[in-house]
Amino acid sequence: MKITFYTGFQICPSTGGVLAEKGAKNVYSIDEGSSKENITAMFSFSANGKKCCPMTVNPYKRIPEKIAQSSTAEWGIARSDRGWMTCEVFYEYISNIFHPFLTSQGVIFPVVLFVDGHKSHLTYQLSVLCNKLKIEIIALYPIATRILQPADVAVFRPVKMYWREAVRDWHAKHPGDILNKVTFAPLLRELIDFAAKPETLVKGFQARGLYPLNANAVVYTKCIGKNTTRPTNEKISRQDPSTVLRNEDASMDYATFVNIVGKRK
């Protein structure tokens, strides 16, 4: 089982406070690059803890040679007008990156690939390609990736948390240099290798109930209000912490969840 997700990385994120003389009232920090510039990166992970070669998406008509050369040999690099994920980019990723990687790893087909419901993942052309390559695409339920997407808990959260720290450390090691599209990929690779450890990926699939398949592993408390955790008409006081499930990781099996929201939902 594989799962694919993509996210944007801010090249010049806010990395913390600014050093200044004690008592100074006018203190400024100058961005060493475009503070609003983002690069989309797409990743795929498997239930056995392996990482597929990622792909970055750049906002160009034609990718500059320096950026193409800066990307590591195994990584894919694509372009779109705004640097966003598109149907064409995802098709290219499956055809030129994902499938060749599976073949090189000796993976037995067919394989199951979980994706979110974004329109770039659900096209007729992609369906024809995946049918030919024996890749079964399954779209996770809409607006439910936070409870079903292993990458959100196993990779997305720690990567986003460490990205600011990684950028700050990079600037400390490269005084005067600017983190840009040319230097982006090598830094991101270091971060992914550090944050996306095999054991973490395996636990991500287990925690979301995708592998092994386990409906009771889903954190259903994230799907309901904090005060609607009981299948009764009893009014629960917000001031009484003993009667409210405030921990999003609190246990709740599938039968209890169905009893609360109804079988149809």
Which pLDDT belongs to residue 105? 93
Which pLDDT belongs to residue 175? 85
CB 28 within 8 A of CB 5: no
Which pLDDT belongs to residue 176? 80
Which pLDDT belongs to residue 23? 67
Q: Convert 203-261 into a string of H (helix), E (strand) and C (coil).
A: HHHHHCCECCECHHHCCHHHHCCCCCCCCCCCCCCCCCHHHCCCCCCCCCCHHHHHHHH
CB 102 within 8 A of CB 53: no
Which pLDDT belongs to residue 219? 85
pLDDT, tens digit only, all 265 positions of the chain:
777 777 888 886 665 555 556 666 555 455 555 556 788 888 899 999 999 988 999 888 888 888 888 877 778 899 998 888 899 999 999 999 999 999 999 999 999 999 887 788 889 999 999 999 999 999 888 777 778 888 776 787 788 788 888 888 988 898 888 888 888 888 888 888 888 889 989 998 998 899 999 999 988 888 776 554 444 444 433 333 333 333 444 578 899 999 988 888 7
User: 189 to each of 45, 72, 89, how far by Cα in Å?
Assistant: 15, 8, 20
CB 138 within 8 A of CB 114: yes
Among 239, 246, 204, smallest CA distance to 222 is for: 246
Query: What tokens were used for 150?
Result: 């292993």
Which pLDDT belongs to residue 225? 63
Domains identified in the chain and CATH numbers: 2-13+29-197 (3.30.420.10), 219-261 (no CATH)
Quote the CA–CA distance of 89 and 134 in Å, as a whole number.
20
Bridge partners of residue 113, in order along the sequence: 2, 137
